[in-house]
Structure 1
Amino acid sequence: MTIPNVFLVGPMGSGKSAVGRQLARMLRRVFHDSDAEIEQRTGVDIPFIFEKEGEEGFRRREREVIDDLTSLDGIVLATGGGAVLDPENRGVLASRGLVVYLEASVEQQLERTRLSSHRPLLETPDPAERLASLMRQREPLYRELAALVVHTDGRVVREVAQEIHRKLVHENSSN
């Protein structure tokens, strides 16, 4: 049974990093987070990159990191919420592993991100409207890319990771 690389996509607050860490443990894989990798490579946090280089500079760095990480074998990768906006990212994600969309309502995203100071796109007077706007733009891309969609609202990390694990193991045992 060979389970491919697993790439998690979805909006901020959907649980990609937390679920990814748990899933990697269950699959005995190495976990990577594209945002954390960008911060490690640059030595600064993402809000600083947005401030100095804008979203375009950040997306350029993100593209390079996603290309590098998806080239590895035996990984679980949590991507940034906007990674799917780049056609190159969508191409490498789709061709180098199995994409799982962690679906979360705007209400759930707002609840999970409300205390975070680490989300430059939410530095706005109306974070709920910003999240809704981002979802309108990105959700069709998440769905188009995903081999598996898992709803995360009101669920704990372990439960979501177990669902993905179960589906991956079942899918690969029936092939």
Structure 2
Amino acid sequence: MPSDQSIFLVGPMGAGKTTIGRLLSSELGMEFVDSDKYIEERCGATIPWIFDMEGEAGFRDREEQAIDQLTLRSGVVLATGGGVVMRDLNREHLSSRGVVVYLCTSVEQQIARTAKDKNRPLLQTANPAQVLRDLFKKRDPLYREVADIILQTDQRNPRWVVSELKKRIKAMES
């Protein structure tokens, strides 16, 4: 893989973007960036706090700015937030500036992986499973639209996912 090529991981919360991103960047000798952490560091505030103070629209404005900046970097593995695909400009930047990998997972797997996570504002409701199903319905077509590679992560070991991703990225180059 060309060393200046970037890899952008998209998918729903709980798909494994951060875990797989860290492993993949380590194996490829690339920088790893998590867009949500980047936003928190730049703002000096947590994502839930931003949602509370500015609403989802305020957070999405900050995310759009971050995605524009981060996708201009060379040779990074970028784990994005689950809602990144909701804005046209984000989808445009992702698909035109790197290899986009959709880490696809079932709602059941998302529930298992995110059940106790208080850092996910959209899940702080009485029925998080329904929220996840609704989000999947809206977002899945958009993830698929931007993806160069689609990989199912349910019941898969992160190391297997990374190995499979490396094979698929290499196949794209030939």
Q: Same fold (TM over 0.5)?
A: yes
Please report how far the alpha carbon of residue 169 of structure 1 lies from its aligned counterpart in structure 2 after TM superposition. Answer: 1.9
Which letter maps to 1:126? N
Please report how far the alpha carbon of residue 63 of structure 1 lies from its aligned counterpart in structure 2 after TM superposition. Answer: 0.4
Q: Name the counterpart of 2:2.
A: 2
8 Å CA contact 1:30–1:74 kept in 2: the answer is: yes
Secondary structure at 1:153's aligned position in 2? coil
Q: Cα deviations across residues 48-78 of structure 1 (Å, max 9, x unaligned)?
A: 0000000000000000000000000000100
Q: Name the counterpart of 2:23.
A: 22
Q: Name the counterpart of 1:118.
A: 119
Gapped runs of 5+ residues in structure 1? Answer: none
Please report how far the alpha carbon of residue 170 of structure 1 lies from its aligned counterpart in structure 2 after TM superposition. Answer: 2.8
Asked if residue 43 in structure 1 is aligned to residue 44 in structure 2, the reply is yes
8 Å CA contact 1:11–1:135 kept in 2: the answer is: yes
Please report how far the alpha carbon of residue 171 of structure 1 lies from its aligned counterpart in structure 2 after TM superposition. Answer: 2.4
Gapped runs of 5+ residues in structure 2? Answer: none
Structure 1 runs (4+) greater than 4 angstroms displaced? none
Distance 2:27 2:168 in 1: 13
8 Å CA contact 1:103–1:152 kept in 2: the answer is: yes
Secondary structure at 1:76's aligned position in 2? strand
**CA-based RMSD:** 0.9
Q: Name the counterpart of 2:151.
A: 150
Distance 2:2 2:121 in 1: 38
Q: Cα deviations across residues 94-120 of structure 1 (Å, max 9, x unaligned)?
A: 100010000000000000000101000
Secondary structure at 2:42's aligned position in 1? helix
Distance 1:90 1:156 in 2: 28
8 Å CA contact 1:100–1:150 kept in 2: the answer is: yes
Aligned residues: 173
Distance 2:163 2:97 in 1: 22
Which letter maps to 1:2? P
Please report how far the alpha carbon of residue 166 of structure 1 lies from its aligned counterpart in structure 2 after TM superposition. Answer: 1.5
Please report how far the alpha carbon of residue 159 of structure 1 lies from its aligned counterpart in structure 2 after TM superposition. Answer: 1.2
Residues 3-152 of structure 1 aligned to structure 2 (within 5 Å): 4-152=5-153
Q: Cα deviations across residues 105-159 of structure 1 (Å, max 9, x unaligned)?
A: 0000000000101000001100100000000000000001101000000112111
Which letter maps to 2:139? R
Distance 2:171 2:60 in 1: 35
TM-score (normalizing by structure 1): 0.97
Which letter maps to 1:122? L
Percent sequence identity over aligned pairs: 50
Once structures 1 and 2 are overlaid, which stretch shifts more, 115-124 or 162-171? 162-171
8 Å CA contact 1:26–1:165 kept in 2: the answer is: no
